[in-house]
Amino acid sequence: MELLGWLGKGSASQTNPIWPSVPYEFVFDYIAESLEPISTLAGPSVVPSKTFDQVHGTQYDIILVPGGTYSHRKADMVHQLISCALNTAAGRVAGEVSPTIVNFVKNQNPGLKYLLSVCTGAWIVANAGVLEGKNATTNKAAFMRIKVGLTTTNINWIPKARWVVDGNTWTSSGVSAGTDMAHAFMEFLVGDNFTKVARNIVEWRAAEQGDDPFAHEWGLA
């Protein structure tokens, strides 16, 4: 989600003249059940900035829900991180998704401008009931486990897509597809002039929405 950081308050995009002016200034929170560092699936730990208790009663504009991995011994989901953008949130659980996280997404949803998920974060969003009647996608390696593991069948899971947009809900496929979705979301919000600068600085070659060879690799298309 580094691309969205260029819209953050105090970022270089606000002081460097190569950046076009945009009407957004994101403020990020990383929210967890405690302020203990969160061990990610790979890479350094993430230090939360607030707890769910501290943001009780706060309505965010955008939340972004990343994913985690499966615990193969228990055949369930281990979600190590949940983050939210414009103001963002993060939390960690093992074995199953904490009701605190699911309820946070569920309670935030009616007042959100946008809800985004990356990778298996769609599993949290689905458990919160906010994908009912919508098109969505998720990590291809976990696609069938998520699809058949939910009690609801009223979600139209799209197997071949880097990301899917349905109303104000954006869901991406696995990990790197989240950056493609973030690129498309930024372009949707502020246009290509700003997004092109961000893309060129980080040297990101953005994929198209349907450019998804991984669906074939995992026998989904």
Residue 11 resides in a domain: no
Cα 120 to Cα 174: distance, rounded to the nearest angstrom: 7
Confidence (pTM): 0.86
Within a domain: 189? yes
Q: Would you say 143 and 157 are in contact if contact means Cβ atoms under 8 Å apart?
A: yes
Is residue 2 a part of any domain in this protein?
Answer: no
Range(s) of the domain holding residue 78: 31-218
For residue 12, tell me if it sits in a domain. Answer: no
Q: For residues 84 and 50, is the Cβ–Cβ distance under 8 A?
A: no
- State how many domains the chain has: 1
Q: What is the pLDDT of residue 6?
A: 93
Q: Indicate whether 21 belongs to any domain.
A: no
Tens-of-pLDDT digits for all 221 residues of the chain?
A: 678 999 999 999 988 999 999 998 999 999 888 999 988 777 788 899 999 999 999 999 999 998 875 433 333 333 333 333 333 333 333 346 778 989 999 999 999 999 999 999 999 999 999 999 999 999 999 999 899 888 888 999 999 999 999 999 999 999 899 999 999 999 999 999 999 999 999 999 999 999 999 999 999 98
In a domain, 127, yes or no: yes
Query: Contact 108/129 with Cβ under 8 angstroms?
Result: no
130 within some domain:
yes
Give the burial class of 177: count Cβ atoms within 10 A of its Cβ; 0-12 exposed, 13-18 middle, 19 or more buried: buried
Residue 53 sits in a domain whose CATH number is 3.40.50.880
- Residue 15 is assigned to a structural domain of this protein: no
Q: What is the 3-state secondary structure (H, E, C) of 25-79?
A: CECCECEECCCCCECCCCCCCECCCEECCCCCCCCCCEEEECCCEEECCCCEEEC
The 8-class DSSP code of residue 172 comes to E
